[in-house]
Amino acid sequence: MSKNKVKIGLIGFGTIGTGVVKLIQGNARGLKARLNADLVLARIADLDLKRKREVKVNPQILTTRVEDILADPEIDIVVELMGGVEPARRFVLEAIRRGKSVVTANKALLATAGDEIFRAAEKNGVSVGFEASVGGGIPVIRALREAYAGDKIRSLLGIINGTSNYILSKMTDEGSRFEHVLKRAQEKGYAEADPTLDVEGIDAAHKLAILITLAFGVRIKLNQIYTEGITRISPLDVEFAREFGYRIKLLAIAKDQGPKGIEARVHPTLIRADSLLADVKDVFNAIYVVGEALGPNLLYGRGAGMMPTATAVLSDLISIARQKLSGVNTGIPGRSLPDTQIKDVRVRDIKEILMGYYLRFSVVDRPGVLSRITGVLGRHNISIASFLQRGRMAGAKVPIFLLTHEALEKNLRAAVAVIDRMDVVRDPTCFIRIEKNLE
């Protein structure tokens, strides 16, 4: 490789790809100053070369064949921005096999095939950068990999899906229904036509899997993460959470519980209205990390979008280019630990976790109902912290709202199953977990 340039091949010329090209073109001088070499965009592969894009590139570097990038011995770093697991996985592995480093924003790929990719990278002495895979331009990967490396991470709580956070923020600010806000989010381009990955918590689970490996040095499979989305949250829940002094957020939560194992879960969560995460609104993301020595750290910013995500790709490109230029392989391709040091995880069953709960019952307004419900809760070792009822109408269906003290999830579920079979209960009970360990 020539020592005065680093050549890049880009796979996927969509939104983020366009942002990356913009940054490389716009900051060429700054990049050269940092690297004392040129970052050259040598080749771009995309199936659709006709589409109008916000940047101009030399048409000769465009190709529809990824092979033109993979087979080019002059290309040092492959940037994979096509998304999805296949054929991205195949292209990334092939690039690595041919001695190229890889930068990717593909959380689905890393969450499902990360082990295979990092192992291949280690074997071939190349780097894999993935700062753009979680939290857009928020430097959370770098922080976990390097900044907190001398500490033991205790817990990590993140708002890492912008679409869900946008929907919950609007439901909170406007009292709107989920379906209504989702439709608006789709019109604005904040949500996909098929929003399942976002609103069912799957995208957040992909990202949490990546963060867990970095934070705790363990490998985790997607199906080990308890995942629940926001589709069943009603405006009533948002309103009464607020009355109790809380906000509802889709949180990705990971905690190291020592010998008991790791907690790994994504679900709607009540957090105190005066906590910093409660102020993370719209499409913004934030990751709250607590280290044994560090205490709490919060990293906040835009979690998606063309330009913020492109800055994360660039930061990886610069770091890897520096390594290439100095002729180094640091031996750790992208994670904080070599593959042999990453342990198998023991994940705690959510049923064994102690949490507080928000409960919404839908009951017939009749004397004695509350006492029957609290009786069932009591028999399941669940005690009440607060209670609210609004709008009385004898004989009609009314909601009752409760907050519980900490209880075992299996007890909570058992109690709810009993309550939902009562004659005075009209609709299935809604319960939302509460997270207290936040400043």
Q: Which residues bind a second copy (CB under 8 A)?
A: 19, 22-24, 27, 30-31, 33-34, 36, 131, 137-139, 142-143, 146-152, 217, 274, 276, 279, 286, 291-302, 305, 307-308, 310-315, 317-319, 322-323, 325-332, 336-338, 341
Task: Determine the longest span between alpha carbons in the chain, in angstroms.
Answer: 83
DSSP, residue by residue, 89-114 = HHHHHHHHHTT-EEEE--HHHHHHHH
The tokens describing 359, both together, are 């409960």
Nearest distance from C-beta of residue 82 to a second copy, angstroms:
20
Of the listed 207, 249, 255, 324, which one is catalytic? 207
Q: Which is nearer to a second copy, 83 or 305 (CB)?
A: 305
Q: Which residue has the tokens 């080990």?
A: 224
The nearest distance, CB 438 to a second copy, in angstroms, is 12
Tell me the closest approach of the beta carbon of residue 309 to a second copy, in angstroms: 9
Residue 334 burial class via C-beta count within 10 angstroms: exposed 0-12, middle 13-18, buried 19 and up:
buried
- CB neighbour class for 377 (10 Å; exposed up to 12, middle 13-18, buried from 19): buried
User: Which residue, 45 or 342, is less far from a second copy as judged by CB?
Assistant: 342
Q: How far is the CB of 247 from a second copy (least distance, A)?
A: 14
Q: Is 107 a catalytic residue?
A: no
Distance in Å, CB of 120 to a second copy, minimum: 19
Measured from the CB atom, is 62 or 337 closer to a second copy?
337
In 239-309, the DSSP E strands lie at 246-256, 262-272, 284-291, 295-302
Closest CB to a second copy among 262 and 299?
A: 299
Phi, psi for residue 225 in degrees, rounded to 5 = -95, 120
Dihedral angle at the C-alpha atoms of 237, 243, 249, 254, nearest 10 degrees? -110
The nearest distance, CB 92 to a second copy, in angstroms, is 21
Concatenating the DSSP letter of every residue in 158-195 gives EE--HHHHHHHHHHHHH---HHHHHHHHHHHTSS-SS-
CB atoms within 10 A of CB 375: 14
The dihedral formed by the CA atoms of 378, 379, 381 and 386, expressed in degrees to the nearest 10: -20
Burial (CB count within 10 angstroms: exposed 0-12, middle 13-18, buried 19+), residue 147: middle
Catalytic residues: 207
